Amino acid sequence: VTLPSGFPPPEVPAADAVPPLRWGIIGPGEIAAVFAGSVLAHTRQRITAVSSRSLDRATAFAGRFGIPVPLGSVEELVARADVDVVYVATQQHVHDGPALAAIAAGKHVLIEKPLAITAARADRILTAGRAAGVLVMEAMWTRYLPQASIIRRLVADGVLGEIRLVQAEHAQYFPPGHRLFSPEAGGGALLDLGIYPFAFASGLLGEPASSATSGSLAPSGVDAQSVTVQTFANGAQAVLSTGLLAKSPLAAFVAGTSALLEVHAPFFLPTGLTLSDDQLFGSSISWTDSSGIPAHQGLSYQATALASIVAGGAVESPVHSHAETVAIARRLDTARHALGFRFAGEEQVSGVPTG
């Protein structure tokens, strides 16, 4: 098989080609700060308000990013006429309350990943969004990077042939006491880190016919380390690993019958791609992201994408549908349950905590 002479160009909306929406941020913690900085640096989106349970924290965050309106409650933020879209950046066990409040107030919503800690809770939020006619999107930001659009194009054009094996892994070292070790805070490796490998495989291979997960729990009860093997109807497989105990290379590849595609590590950040032909000692071509938007600055792409989708009138993302968001959450539920980790009250659908 002969490789193409080069990579297709990325297909992402230009930041200055989409309408500037007015954003309100809920939960001014670690990721909210990175998001705010990247949005202000790389998009024409505006941030008009921020809310925290603590008005002091909201005021400090507002001062840092030049946000005009700091607020002390979710209710005040979602009620504001000068907020078009709400970014929910609280810890994941408390995404539901702010997300449902924003939807009820008629706002579009971008919700940090994982959208919710179980598939049932994710489905509840997304169903409410569709009923209200607003856009609800999980902040699976990797899907909106330039390299993700190139991968989609290569697959759609058949450059890889038939995909036979996808491998992706995301493990990092976290010290004991980190929120990821807390079952009450929706912790565990799968929900925070494993979601990236799961989403990567899902975008390429869809719904597995079967899956098996093996791994171990931390003393606190959350999943500490695991490997999931998914097998698809045509025999293709995905090997997805994650963990909180030791840093891994953060690698991902897609092996097709015509070509091998490797995403440069860390695969979930803006990095680059290498495409190799089907020969053991064959040739390869590479593409490097030269946008000047490195690492987590890439969170900005999803803000521009959201504004573009809102402008088109859709209520879900064309590259990360509600059905797929819930399906990935269900696969994460299944993997977590296989390891013996369940959240308190998880089975009581009518008792879904609203956070």
Catalytically active residues are 113
Q: Which residues pair with 260 in a beta bridge?
A: 255, 276
89 binds ligand NAP (CB under 6 A): yes
Query: Which position among 43, 92, 241, 300 is part of the footprint of ligand NAP (CB under 6 A)?
Result: 92
- Whether the CA torsion 124, 136, 344, 211 is positive or negative: it is positive
C-beta closer to ligand NAP: residue 139 or 306: 139
Q: Exposure string (b/e) for 253-280, b if CB count within 10 Å is 16 or more? A: bbbbebbbbbbbebbbbbbbbebbbeee
C-beta closer to ligand NAP: residue 52 or 276: 52
Query: Which position among 87, 141, 198, 341 is part of the footprint of ligand NAP (CB under 6 A)?
Result: 141
Phi (first) and psi of residue 302, to 5 degrees: -70, -25
Site residues (CB under 6 A) for ligand NAP, limited to 262-321: 296
- List C-alpha distances in Å: 172 to 155, 167, 180, 193: 29, 17, 11, 8
Cβ atoms 315, 133 nearer than 8 A: yes
31 binds ligand NAP (CB under 6 A): yes
Q: Which residue is nearest to ligand NAP (CB)?
A: 29
Query: Which position among 1, 11, 30, 345 is part of the footprint of ligand NAP (CB under 6 A)?
Result: 30
User: Could you give the dihedral angle defined by the CA atoms of residues 336, 337, 339 and 344, in that order, rounded to the nearest 10 degrees?
Assistant: 80
Phi (first) and psi of residue 69, to 5 degrees: -120, 100
Site map (CB under 6 A) of ligand NAP, residues 162-191, x = contact: -----------------x------------
Indicate the pairing of strand 272-276 with strand 223-231: unpaired
Identify residue 132 by its one-letter amino acid code.
Answer: A
Cβ atoms 181, 187 nearer than 8 A: yes
Distance, CA of 296 to CA of 299 (rounded, Å): 6
Query: Which position among 38, 45, 52, 308 is part of the footprint of ligand NAP (CB under 6 A)?
Result: 52
29 binds ligand NAP (CB under 6 A): yes
C-beta closer to ligand NAP: residue 129 or 266: 266
Query: Which position among 44, 57, 164, 178 is part of the footprint of ligand NAP (CB under 6 A)?
Result: 57
Distance, CA of 133 to CA of 127 (rounded, Å): 10
C-beta closer to ligand NAP: residue 18 or 190: 190
72 binds ligand NAP (CB under 6 A): no
Site map (CB under 6 A) of ligand NAP, residues 188-217, x = contact: ----x-------------------------
Shortest Cβ 83–ligand NAP spacing (Å): 16
C-beta closer to ligand NAP: residue 136 or 163: 136
C-beta closer to ligand NAP: residue 296 or 330: 296
Q: Using the rule CB under 6 A, give the single segment among 12-20, 51-59, 123-131, 287-295 that binds ligand NAP.
A: 51-59
Distance, CA of 230 to CA of 173 (rounded, Å): 25
Which of 40, 51, 49 is CA-nearest to residue 94? 51
Query: Which position among 38, 43, 45, 90 is part of the footprint of ligand NAP (CB under 6 A)?
Result: 90
Distance, CA of 99 to CA of 103 (rounded, Å): 6
Residue owning tokens 């019958």: 257
91 binds ligand NAP (CB under 6 A): yes
- In 191-266, the DSSP E strands lie at 210-217, 223-231, 237-243, 252-256, 260-263
- DSSP summary character for residue 89: -
Q: Using the rule CB under 6 A, give the single segment among 46-54, 254-262, 321-329, 334-342 that binds ligand NAP.
A: 46-54
Distance, CA of 217 to CA of 236 (rounded, Å): 28
Shortest Cβ 348–ligand NAP spacing (Å): 20
- DSSP summary character for residue 3: P
C-beta closer to ligand NAP: residue 141 or 301: 141
For ligand NAP, the binding residues (CB under 6 A) are 27-32, 52-54, 57, 89-92, 94, 112-113, 139, 141, 179, 192, 296
